[in-house]
């Protein structure tokens, strides 16, 4: 057995005493505690989203209070920092749902957020894992409490985005997804649902100059809607403001409107500024010949081979089948348009 020197005995004794002390416990908690790195608030007429980013996953619980209306979110094993202190300054005056936000250290290991509400609201609080440039996220979505039960967003919140009532437009569409020729003769104008990709805290592709895909595709969608309406089509949009719409809600909106065509618009990112033109993705389960004739404007043989439409006014880009969710589940003739960015 190795004999310890007097100095070694003193060091080991001091280390043991420190490990058992309240100071060591506090230091350990500080090291383990998540660090808040960013906070964002995205208000819209549809709903408002509050997002907190942190270095590790957060444990939380929430509850509502009345008179006045408030939402309280308690975040466990956390310490308040400058990110949370600055949260109140991110609330916009025209936010339809949030009047103000207060953040404080409610207990030594619990941070409390108190969200003062402008109107009766339904809150959905959930966490998201890291993805892309985002870290762990705690998300608080606030919706109007009086939302129509038939609204696609409300259906998703109730956990039944794919449930349809018998006799409803969604049920009719689910039972008959084959394109019906000659529909214009019965007085019904063709319905087109335009889906600008991304939105809200999801910017999509970002150019070297900071231009965000979500703004580009929204501008394209608005202009496309205007031109299609001038041609006599009945046109709707999944979003018409800077707001994130979940995929399930985008799909439900197309079904609810009984869209004959669902066009999702995105912008590709390229390293070369010489990129031009558009490309297209079409639903793999659709009959390609008919899609090519009616939507892509090329002959069936070229479509089957994945060839590009020959048009000197448009640089050539490839059309190809896709498993992108809206393309598979929305309209009789869904497609995605990819523009150059």
Mean pLDDT in residue range 259-269: 88
User: Where exactly does CATH 2.60.40.3500 map onto the chain?
Assistant: 36-145
Percent of the chain, pLDDT > 70? 61
Answer yes or no: CATH 1.10.260.40 is held by domain 36-145: no
Band (pLDDT 50/70/90 cuts) for residue 168 is very low
**Phi then psi for 128, rounded to 5 degrees?**
-130, 140
Q: What is the pLDDT at residue 323?
A: 53
Q: What are phi and psi of 250, to 5 degrees?
A: -60, -45
> Could you say which of 3.30.70.270, 3.40.920.10, 3.40.630.40, 3.40.50.970 is the CATH number of the domain covering 188-276?
3.40.630.40
Q: Is the dihedral angle over the CA atoms 240, 246, 252, 255 positive or is it negative?
A: positive
- E strand segments, 161-254: 191-196, 234-237
* pLDDT tens by residue, 179-234: 443 345 456 789 999 999 999 888 998 888 889 999 999 999 999 999 999 999 99
Helix-, strand-, coil-residue percentages of the chain, each rounded to 5:
30, 30, 40
**CA gap 258, 182 in Å, rounded:** 16
**CA 324 – CA 262 distance, rounded (Å):** 12
Smallest Cα–Cα separation from 245: which of 221, 273, 280, 228? Answer: 221
Write out the residue limits of the CATH 3.40.630.40 domain(s) in the chain. Answer: 188-276
CA distance 68 to 100: 12
pTM of this prediction exceeds 0.75: no
Look at residue 90 and tell me whether its pLDDT is greater than 90.
yes
pLDDT of residue 156: 56
Report the pLDDT averaged over residues 254-281.
Answer: 82
CB contact at 8 A, 244 and 201:
yes
pLDDT confidence of residue 1: 54
Q: What is the pLDDT of residue 28?
A: 45
27-49 confidence digits (pLDDT tens):
444 456 899 999 999 999 889 99
């Amino acid at each position: 057995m190795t004999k310890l020197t007097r100095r070694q005995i003193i060091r080991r004794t001091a280390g043991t005493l420190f490990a058992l002390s309240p100071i060591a416990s506090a230091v350990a908690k500080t090291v383990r505690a998540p660090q808040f790195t960013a906070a964002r608030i995205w208000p819209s007429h549809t709903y408002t989203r509050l997002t907190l980013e942190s270095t590790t996953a957060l444990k939380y619980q929430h509850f509502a209070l009345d008179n006045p209306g408030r939402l309280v979110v308690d975040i466990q094993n956390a310490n308040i920092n400058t990110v949370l202190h600055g949260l109140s300054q991110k609330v916009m005056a025209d936010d339809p749902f949030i009047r103000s936000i207060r953040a404080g250290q409610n207990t030594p290991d619990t941070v409390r957020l108190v969200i003062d509400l402008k109107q009766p609201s339904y809150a959905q609080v959930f966490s998201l894992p890291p993805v892309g440039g985002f870290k762990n996220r705690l998300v608080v979505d606030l919706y109007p409490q009086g939302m129509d039960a038939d609204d696609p967003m409300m259906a998703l919140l109730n956990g039944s985005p794919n449930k349809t009532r018998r006799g409803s437009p969604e049920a009719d569409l689910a039972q008959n997804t084959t394109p019906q020729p000659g529909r214009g003769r019965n007085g019904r104008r063709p319905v087109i649902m335009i889906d600008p990709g991304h939105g809200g805290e999801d910017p999509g592709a970002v150019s070297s100059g900071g231009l965000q895909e979500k703004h580009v595709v929204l501008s394209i969608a608005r202009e496309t809607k205007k031109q299609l309406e001038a041609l006599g089509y009945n046109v709707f949009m999944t979003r018409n403001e800077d707001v994130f719409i979940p995929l399930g809600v985008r799909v439900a909106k197309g079904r609810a409107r009984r869209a004959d065509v669902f066009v999702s618009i995105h912008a590709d990112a390229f390293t070369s500024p010489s990129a031009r033109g558009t490309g297209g993705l079409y639903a793999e389960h659709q009959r390609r010949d008919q899609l090519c004739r009616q939507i892509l404007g090329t002959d069936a043989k070229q479509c089957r081979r994945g060839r590009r439409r020959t048009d000197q006014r448009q640089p050539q880009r490839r059309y190809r089948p896709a498993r992108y969710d809206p393309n598979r589940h929305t309209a009789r003739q869904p497609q995605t348009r990819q523009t150059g960015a």
